[in-house]
Amino acid sequence: MTTNELQPGAKLDQFTIVKPIGHGAYSDVFLAEDPSGHQVVLKCPHESIMGDVSTFDRFRRELEISRHLHHPGIQRSLEFTTDRSRPYLVMEYVEGETLRAYMTREKRLSVDQAVDFGRQLAAAMAYAHSQGVFHRDLKPENILVTPDGRLVVTDFGVALMAGARRLTWRWFSTALGTPDYMSPEQIQGKRGDARTDVYAIGVMLFEMLAGRVPWEGDNALSVMSQHLNAPVPALHELNAAVPPPIEGIVRKCLRKIQDERYEDAASLESDLERWRDLPLSQFIFGNEAPVARASDQKLILLVVGISAGFLAASILFVLIAYLLVHAHA
């Protein structure tokens, strides 16, 4: 059965599809019910990558990582099918909307709410970091907001567990699809760690307070270049209500050099809890040098070129297949 056939009422093994609730670059997400009527979420890869070994490994790793993370701020994975022709994840159902939908509606959050959301994210990731897990793809689309204001982190598809081998197949699409939240080290092709997640939380804190991300551009290359080279915009000029300590916390999250950021999310959580008592002296930095060298700029161009080439080849393949089918019709 293809994801196109997973309409309301359809069956996928013992699960009954209720409705589609999400569509991503590599998978579709459905609300479903198990035989007892309990609601769950099914995450199914697109047909175009079904049977692909790396897809299967990514789904299996997501299950292995998230199943042993027991925190109210992290969505739990419950089950994983072992059929390579139809792999899917079964996850707990969390009622709510994405942080992206929430911010789109609210535009700009109050300082208190932004700090509360940032603290919740930091707490969830502090727990993950304590278990040796780094998310590496934190963004508003991967965070749910429940009706009572609780944040839940989802999608550990590109997460890294300390000591595990690296899965690189999705790196290109991640870089090109969501460059707004990528750290400089990710753009440079490095593995990333706890400080990578801190950087992404910093971007979201900035966005919640300013109503926009720190760096904007007409294309992915422009945004990635700014992550490597451009200074952090003055947050207080975009929102005069932001207190200096909060701006200092955000700027510390967004330092381009990893060693100058919070060492992990636990340190960030601590400062967000006691920000009113923080001395401003700890947030005084010298001029920040860009981290991009000429070779890094070439790397970005290479990423864009390769990805564009893959896209063009895929379109050509589909076109040829269509013509061949209709030629014999």
Do residues 253 and 121 touch, judged by C-beta distance below 8 A?
A: no
Which pLDDT score is estimated for 231?
94
The confidence band for 7, taking pLDDT boundaries of 50, 70 and 90, is confident
Domains 3-92 and 97-283 share a fold: no
Do residues 215 and 227 touch, judged by C-beta distance below 8 A?
A: yes
The confidence band for 126, taking pLDDT boundaries of 50, 70 and 90, is very high
Render pLDDT for 266-318 as a digit per residue (tens, 0 to 9): 999 999 999 999 887 777 665 566 665 544 555 555 555 555 555 555 556 54
Residue 171 has pLDDT above 50, yes or no: no
Where are the strands (E) in 97-164, listed by range? 97-98, 133-134, 143-145, 151-153, 160-161
Q: Which residues, including other chains, have CB under 8 Å from residue 309's CB and lie 6 or more apart?
A: none
* Domain 97-283 annotated CATH 1.10.510.10: yes
Which pLDDT score is estimated for 276?
92
137 is catalytic: yes
Distance CA 126, CA 133 (A): 9
What is the chain's length?
329
For the segment(s) 3-92, the CATH number from 3.20.20.70, 3.20.10.10, 3.30.200.20, 2.10.109.10 is: 3.30.200.20
Both tokens of 225, joined, read: 């270049």
Q: Exactly one of 34, 57, 116, 137 is catalytic; which is it?
A: 137
Residue 210 has pLDDT above 80, yes or no: yes
Both tokens of 247, joined, read: 């701006």
Q: What residue spans define the domains of the chain?
A: 3-92, 97-283
Q: What b/e readout covers 22-42, taking b as 16+ CB neighbours within 10 angstroms?
A: eeeebbbbbbbeeeeeeebbb
152 φ, ψ (degrees, to nearest 5): -130, 125
Q: 88: part of which helix (H) or strand (E)? A: none
Render pLDDT for 23-60 as a digit per residue (tens, 0 to 9): 776 788 999 999 999 999 999 887 766 666 776 777 77
Which pLDDT score is estimated for 198?
98
Q: Tokens 């010298």 correspond to what residue?
A: 286
Q: Answer left, alpha or beta for residue 82, where phi above 0 means left and psi between -120 and 50 means alpha.
A: alpha
Do residues 137 and 196 touch, judged by C-beta distance below 8 A?
A: no
Render pLDDT for 227-270 as a digit per residue (tens, 0 to 9): 999 999 999 999 999 999 999 999 999 999 999 999 999 999 99
Do residues 155 and 26 touch, judged by C-beta distance below 8 A?
A: no
Which pLDDT score is estimated for 169?
39
Distance CA 13, CA 284 (A): 58
Which pLDDT score is estimated for 39?
96
Secondary structure class of 93 (helix, strand, coil): coil
Both tokens of 267, joined, read: 């340190």
Do residues 69 and 96 touch, judged by C-beta distance below 8 A?
A: no
Distance CA 144, CA 123 (A): 15
